Structure 1
Amino acid sequence: MLAVFLVTFPFFALIAAGYAAARSRLLPLEAIPGLNAFVLFFALPCMLYQFGARTPIAQLLDASVALVWGAAALLVVAVTVRLTRRGRIGWNDAAFGALVAAFPNTGFMGVPLLAALLGAAATGPVIISIVFDMVVTSSLCIALSRLDATGHAGGAAFWQAARKALRGIVLNPMPWSILLGAAASAAQWRLPGPADRTVSMLADAASPAALFTIGAVLARGALLARAQGASSRRGAVADVLPVVLVKLVAHPLLVAGLGAAARAAGLPLSQGALVTLVLVAALPSASNVSMLAERFGADNARIARIILWTTVAAFFSFPLAVGWLR
């Protein structure tokens, strides 16, 4: 277990450093969107391109991995909506609570962390999970968030949300970088030397910059939650704790159970791929869900608390998951 903590500690330490920098205002809150843009549009796409280009195309098209991950994600969304949609929590807040329960922080945190723990073999399942969550899980939850509206206005809101979700997918550089990397892998093509070195330099910056940015985004979310904290502490715990437990406990157990069932049914799901998927599910919630919740008018303070709590708890729960699987 100590060996696992020695691997995971630097990743969480960088998150803590970003949190402290933003919370102390050493990093101005106004600078966080720029830092986030660097990671999202420059560094992380280069890292994902390299992972895709260096991974055999068969691993990127593993239908068994996509089936297990997709089934687990859809079940987590359904269960979370069923558990949390009550009282003042309508479809909008329940849908984004479900998204933050089903969508791990794979891009910013999971890719470098799982590569350090499991090596290159983890790349294929990780990339498949990223694509599914960005395309299917996010779109589904955004569509569900519009069900609070009724009648003709409700239909218009639904299709407007669908268009926003599609536009977000098209403008997100991560799926395109994965697609280009997969095409390069299939064609066995390499970038010219100077271009390859430029991409490598940006890719090397992705991991520390992404982790530091997660901490800064969490600090901004915590400050926002404090500013909007109209609900009592007891009410906040009741709203947040079930989603945290679904994310860090139910989600990885569900993936493990579905994966074991798939292997028992004869699907060609390797043990290594299943271990990777379980660890992806054990990651904390994706920090970008907070921005989506704000854009669609959900209770962003609640979403920020869930992301913060899952990130803090994962410092302890993620190494335990690694030790359990080993």
Structure 2
Amino acid sequence: MLAIFFKTLPFFLLIGLGYWAGRTRFFSEEATAYLTKFVFYFALSAMLFRFSANLSLADVWDGRLVAAYLWGTAFVYGIATIVGFLRGLDVPTTAIEAQCAAIGNTGFLGVPMLTLLLGAEAIGPVLLALAVDLIVFSSLIVILITGARDGQISLRMIRSIALGLVRNPMIVAISLGFICAGFALPIPEPINDFLGILGGAATPGALFAIGASLAFKSAERIEVAGWLSFCKLVLHPALVGIAALYIFDVDPFKAGVIIAVSALPVAGNVFILAQHYGVAPARVSTAILFSTALSIVTVSLVIAGVTGG
């Protein structure tokens, strides 16, 4: 366990460094926003493209894995939804809380960290889990919030969801990479080197950006943040683990990877959605702050568990 902790510690130290830079205003909120944009649209996209371009879709696709991850994620989503309704929350606020409980920071934290810690074989399962989050649950929250406000599912809503998916650079990068792999399109060496250099900035840039953005988030409803952090860091990996190992009989290594993915803290894009729709953004920011701080220990515990220490 201690060895795993020391392996994950550098990643969280980078987050801590970013938090210090933001807290001391050495990095302004505007600078953090631009760094995040650079990572999201350029560095991380280059990394994801290189990963997927060197994998065939046939090698990556695993229906059992997708079913297990979808089942476990939907289950914790449902638990958070029921608890939200029991507390008398409206549909948009309940949907935002459920998103916090079920969607982890796979893009900015999971892709760079887990592929380094668990090896190249982890790339495929991580990409599949990321695709489920982006395609299924990012669409679901838009449907729930917009449908609750408009009273119906409209063509405008469907168009908005479709455009959001098409414009997401992570989805575009993964799709283009699989197209190149599927048609065996060679990547010229200078371009491959360029993508390698650019993608190399994704890990430190993403982790620093996570920390810096946390410094500008306010805290409220601490008890709710604690509940959502418990859902994300404990319930989510437990339910995905049950689904993967006991229901869908996923390959043990792949099961370990998606369990580790499920143990990641609340995703930063949930705050962007909450802010965009004006639904409890301060509550989401507190959940992100709490879950990220607690994940320093919990992620190490989960990775130690799935790798046998």
TM more than 0.5: yes
Whichever residue aligns with residue 302 of structure 1, its letter is R
Q: How many residues matched? A: 307
User: Which residue, out of 196, 209, 214, partners 2:192?
Assistant: 196
Q: How does 1:296-307 map to 2 (within 5 A)?
A: 296-307=277-288
2:81–2:94 Cα contact (<8 Å) kept: yes
Q: Cα deviations across residues 46-87 of structure 1 (Å, max 9, x unaligned)? A: 000111122343232211111111111222211111112345
Q: Once the 2 structures are TM-superposed, how far is the Cα of residue 147 of structure 1 from its aligned partner?
A: 4.9
Q: Once the 2 structures are TM-superposed, how far is the Cα of residue 6 of structure 1 from its aligned partner?
A: 1.7
Whichever residue aligns with residue 224 of structure 2, its letter is D
Q: How does 1:155-174 map to 2 (within 5 A)?
A: 155=152, 160-174=156-170
Structure 2: gaps of 5 or more residues: none
Aligned to 1:2: 2
Q: Cα deviations across residues 80-117 of structure 1 (Å, max 9, x unaligned)? A: 11112345632111101111211111110101111122
Among all aligned residue pairs of Structure 1 and Structure 2, give the percentage whose two residues are the same amino acid.
34
Distance, in Å, in 1 between the alignment partners of 2:157 and 2:101 is 20
Distance, in Å, in 2 between the alignment partners of 1:310 and 1:136 is 22
Q: Does 1:286 align with 2:267?
A: yes
Whichever residue aligns with residue 164 of structure 1, its letter is S
Whichever residue aligns with residue 261 of structure 1, its letter is Y
1:95–1:144 Cα contact (<8 Å) kept: yes
Q: How does 1:137-176 map to 2 (within 5 A)?
A: 137-149=137-149, 153-155=150-152, 160-176=156-172
Q: Once the 2 structures are TM-superposed, how far is the Cα of residue 122 of structure 1 from its aligned partner?
A: 0.5
Aligned to 1:125: 125
Q: Cα deviations across residues 150-183 of structure 1 (Å, max 9, x unaligned)? A: xxx4227x65544333322111110111111112
Q: Does 1:220 align with 2:216?
A: yes
Q: Does 1:248 align with 2:233?
A: yes
Instruction: Describe the SS at the equivalent of 2:215.
Output: helix
Instruction: Describe the SS at the equivalent of 1:27.
Output: coil
Distance, in Å, in 2 between the alignment partners of 1:259 and 1:87 is 31
Distance, in Å, in 2 between the alignment partners of 1:295 and 1:15 is 25
Q: TM-score, normalised by structure 2?
A: 0.94
Distance, in Å, in 2 between the alignment partners of 1:163 and 1:217 is 30
Q: Once the 2 structures are TM-superposed, how far is the Cα of residue 197 of structure 1 from its aligned partner?
A: 1.3
1:289–1:303 Cα contact (<8 Å) kept: yes
Change (3 A) 1:308 1:70: same
Whichever residue aligns with residue 138 of structure 2, its letter is S
Whichever residue aligns with residue 298 of structure 1, its letter is V
Q: TM-score, normalised by structure 1?
A: 0.89
Distance, in Å, in 2 between the alignment partners of 1:17 and 1:159 is 45
Instruction: Describe the SS at the equivalent of 1:245.
Output: helix
Distance, in Å, in 2 between the alignment partners of 1:123 and 1:253 is 21
Q: Does 1:317 align with 2:302?
A: no
Aligned to 1:233: none
Instruction: Describe the SS at the equivalent of 1:288.
Output: helix
Distance, in Å, in 1 between the alignment partners of 2:90 and 2:159 is 22
1:139–1:162 Cα contact (<8 Å) kept: no
1:91–1:146 Cα contact (<8 Å) kept: no
Structure 1: gaps of 5 or more residues: 230-235
- Provide the alpha-carbon RMSD of the alignment: 1.7
Q: Cα deviations across residues 24-51 of structure 1 (Å, max 9, x unaligned)? A: 1100111122111100100001000111
